[in-house]
Amino acid sequence: MDVSKLSGFASISLEEMNGVSLLKRVDTKFLTTTSQLSELLPFLFAEYQILEIGENRLMNYSTLYFDTKDLQCYKEHHNGKARRHKIRIRRYVESDICFLEVKEKQNSGMTNKVRCSIDDFETALSPKSKTFIEKATKKELELEPVLHNYFQRFTLVNKQRSERVTIDTGLEYKTGATTKQFKNVVVIEVKQEKRNTRTPIYSTLKSNRIRTVSFSKYCMGVANVFAGIKSNKFKELNLKINKLNN
């Protein structure tokens, strides 16, 4: 991602943005390419501010996903279970902070995220982390690290309403000796207290025929990296992603 493409946005600090953290929210996702993204951004300059931390607007994220040995979290998503969880440790590189995070997709369609600060990545979860996960999921899960994910993100904040837009580029997955990159794919995620399709980001995406998708970074990583894993429900989306990546 060319950082100069972001110069048209006014900045907002992390402290100012905390007022619209939206840990409980409705998420709506879109997929596009890096070249199309560059064409879309100027239409958003007037309506959104961009998160800036220490003069950085494009942030690096490093994530380690946890699952059971038989990939229960992945399978629940693949099989369409309404209430499901994603469990990860994420390092926000520029902020130099690390969180253990549990995302719960609820029956209502809302996403609830809870997190706790930890010192660093844990390949073996500490007793404290296990307790936090058990409390968040209300399950006793035998978890292990299964997938690394890296990407770059910039975050836009609507000037008029409670809405954030995260835009992720340079997706990369690693597990063992296997690496999969989606360097040309862009994931746009609109985060709101309740869905409102009358905002500038929705209008811009609609006018460019970019439609909503059901997309999970974790599930797409597993489906593309793990051999022999059931992924037929993601076949159409996987074809789209790989087409965008070419």
Q: Are 170 and 151 in contact (CB under 8 A)?
A: yes
Q: What is the pTM of this model?
A: 0.92
Max CA separation in the chain (angstroms):
50
Distance CA 82, CA 85 (A): 10
Instruction: Say if residue 209's pLDDT is above 80.
Output: yes
Q: What is the CATH number of the domain that holds 82?
A: 2.40.320.10
Mean pLDDT of the chain: 93
Distance CA 25, CA 129 (A): 24
Query: What residue type is 221 in one-letter code?
Result: G
Distance CA 32, CA 90 (A): 24
Say how many Å lie between the first and final Cα of the chain, rounded: 16
Distance CA 83, CA 201 (A): 28
Share of the chain above pLDDT 70, in %: 98
pLDDT digits (tens, 9 = 90+) for 174-203: 998 899 999 999 999 999 988 999 999 999
Q: What pLDDT was estimated at residue 22?
A: 59
Q: Are 98 and 121 in contact (CB under 8 A)?
A: yes
Instruction: Say if residue 20's pLDDT is above 70.
Output: no
The full 3-state SS of 160-221, as one line of letters, equals CCCEEEEEEEEEEEEECCEEEEECCEEEEEEEECCCCCCCHHHHHHHHCCCCEECCCHHHHH
Instruction: Say if residue 111's pLDDT is above 90.
Output: no
Range of the domain at 223: 3-245
pLDDT digits (tens, 9 = 90+) for 71-102: 999 999 999 898 999 999 999 998 889 999 99
Q: Are 151 and 6 in contact (CB under 8 A)?
A: no
β-bridge partners, 158: 48
Alpha carbon 27 to its chain's center: 10
Domains of the chain: total: 1
